[in-house]
Structure 1
Amino acid sequence: MIKFSDVTKAYQTDEPVLAHCSLSVPEGSVYALVGKNGAGKSTLLKLAAGFLCPDYGEIRFQDMPVWENRERVQRDIGSMIDLPVFYEHLSARENLGLHQAYMQTNGNINGILKKVGLTGINDKPVSSFSYGMRQRLAIARALLHEPKLLLLDEPMNGLDPLGVEELRSLFCSLAREGKTLLVSSHILGDIAAMADTVGILSGGSIRREFHMNDYQGAGKELFEKEVLAEMKGDIL
């Protein structure tokens, strides 16, 4: 579905945020990125969405170079990257209606709001929303035009345990429907429950990949131990 090949990206004269980074996300799978703050997770997602141009290397979505075809590619990509921004005086439905008009689609706004757990909000302005409600609305906006690929940066931040469980179930069901997800997260327990593959982003590239089929049952604790050790640079 999406593939990074030897991608390097630097900002101005700084050291590269990504350096010779390669990864591949198969269609209908959930790939989770894990790394320390500043490791480059958000940069990787912005490159995948065509919001940034790589300095070197190539990113291909459905075998198309992303940057050269970014307008076309973005019709099939839904993203929630960085702090979501909305029209504060408008309701959730009104915000989604504007996005729908921009994307020139006819998504089911009420159905999407129900899917992400935003029911009973009536016409409340977004300015009255909690952080967790804003996260849900951002995910709804990313889903509204029925994308094939979802890019989600820390999507469960600010959610209570029930909200986390609901969205985790949603992401798994989306993958079963054939959607592909590339997600960043700091919460190992959450990604262990929904990801097919976990990639450790360190030193500008994917340092190691974990395939979650290898960590069934009691293997969850071993997975978390190995991820933390890898992030610390330990050798088990």
Structure 2
Amino acid sequence: MTVLKVANLNKKYGSKKVLHNVSFAIPKGSILGLIGPNGAGKSTIMKTIVGLTSANSGSIEIDGKQLTKHNRKALASVGTMIETPALYDNLSGIEHLHLYNEGQTTNAEIEQIMQETQIASFAKRKAKKYSLGMRQRLGIAITLLNHPKLLILDEPMNGLDPQSTHDLRDLLLKLAQRGISILISSHLLDELARIADSYVVINHGRVVQEAPADEFLSTGNQLVKIETTDAAKAAEVLNAAGLDAHVNDRKVEFPAADDALNTGLVALVNAHIKITNVEQSNADLEESLLKLLTSDNQKEEQ
């Protein structure tokens, strides 16, 4: 079942066109990562979906209901957090939940949401005393009040400490397992790679690629990554052996083409360089994204 369907979305600000025939879909219980550089159009797409701005053409369907300028009923099943949640400093967390509850959620359900989002321990404190992580978690709790079938989250991990990021990641995975679909943008690609089922890459307001996570990552070159006691020396030895090696994050890497792994290991052993770990893997999300954007930018310049 498709929860969100965006088709041929176009948007202009004055004479400048910022979205060009954007199309993608999210099935029930799936997490879709919306990624791309700053100014690519990610926030505009999200704001258009939730009705904060209107498209010039195209269609948006949420849970089988068409969203139009004069019919916003489809948004009843959407929870939204775009940018940092706007909170009232003199209200507590629980007061915020009751304020934004439109009668759809019982007190017992509010208690359950507080437990799920891990805000119960500070829910009675005023928001002015909250850290950014607390504010983000309260923002997520507010989005869950209307029993959403779709969550739209714009950079929810920005500024969070590692523990808060971990907790938010676990929460989003649990919500997806419950059947809630999630559209999320984030510059923290390593974190996004841990939860996303699929990706839509946006550049210059256009969809560059829409693909499942495993297919998207397979577009990157497969790499051999070796940890040694001397990465710089290892890179010299590997390059001398005809491999295109470089040091990245204290590991030496080179493309895993043909018999490259065996060639590299033999060269390092013969050079008496101690090998502490070897792995062979696809390029990560960041590498795959950069490859796509570089290719797309070159097309734009032609």
Distance 2:123 2:173 in 1: 28
Residue 229 (str. 1) matches residue 272 (str. 2): no
CA contact (8 A) 1:89 1:126 kept: yes
Q: Secondary structure at the match of 2:84?
A: coil
Q: Secondary structure at the match of 2:17?
A: coil
List 4+ stretches of structure 1 deviating above 4 A. Answer: 215-220
Q: Secondary structure at the match of 2:6?
A: strand
**Which residue in the other structure is 2:7 paired with?**
5
CA contact (8 A) 2:190 2:285 kept: no
Within 5 Å, give how 1:172-191 maps onto structure 2: 172-191=173-192
Q: Secondary structure at the match of 1:233?
A: helix
Q: Pairwise CA RMSD of aligned residues?
A: 2.1
Instruction: Indicate the larger mover: 155-164 or 87-96.
Output: 155-164
CA contact (8 A) 1:135 1:157 kept: no
Instruction: Indicate the larger mover: 189-198 or 202-211.
Output: 202-211
Q: Percent identity?
A: 34
Q: Secondary structure at the match of 2:72?
A: helix
**Which residue in the other structure is 2:126 paired with?**
125
Distance 2:32 2:15 in 1: 28
**Which residue in the other structure is 2:144 paired with?**
143
Distance 1:221 1:187 in 2: 16
Give how far 1:69 is off.
6.6
Give how far 1:151 is off.
0.3
Letter of the 2:133 partner, please give it: G
Distance 1:157 1:122 in 2: 21
Give how far 1:218 is off.
6.3
Letter of the 1:111 partner, please give it: Q
Over 3 Å counting, the alpha-carbon distance change for 1:19 and 1:71 in structure 2 is same
Instruction: Indicate the larger mover: 73-82 or 202-211.
Output: 202-211
CA contact (8 A) 1:132 1:157 kept: no
Distance 1:149 1:42 in 2: 16
Letter of the 1:53 partner, please give it: S
Give how far 1:111 is off.
2.0
Residue 92 (str. 1) matches residue 154 (str. 2): no
Distance 1:130 1:72 in 2: 34
Larger radius of gyration: 2
Distance 1:218 1:155 in 2: 32
Distance 1:177 1:220 in 2: 30
Distance 2:185 2:17 in 1: 19
**Which residue in the other structure is 2:72 paired with?**
71
**Which residue in the other structure is 1:59 paired with?**
60
Give how far 1:70 is off.
4.6
Distance 1:52 1:162 in 2: 34
Over 3 Å counting, the alpha-carbon distance change for 1:18 and 1:185 in structure 2 is same
Give how far 1:3 is off.
1.1
Unaligned runs of 5+ in 1: none
CA contact (8 A) 2:62 2:75 kept: no
Deviation string, structure 1 residues 96-124 (Cα, Å, up to 9, x no partner): 10100xx3212422221221222321521
Q: Secondary structure at the match of 1:144?
A: coil
**Which residue in the other structure is 2:41 paired with?**
40
Give how far 1:18 is off.
0.9
Over 3 Å counting, the alpha-carbon distance change for 1:220 and 1:110 in structure 2 is farther
Letter of the 2:45 partner, please give it: L
Letter of the 2:178 partner, please give it: E
Distance 2:183 2:280 in 1: 25
**Which residue in the other structure is 2:103 paired with?**
104
Q: Secondary structure at the match of 2:89?
A: coil
Unaligned runs of 5+ in 2: 219-278
Instruction: Indicate the larger mover: 119-128 or 214-223.
Output: 214-223
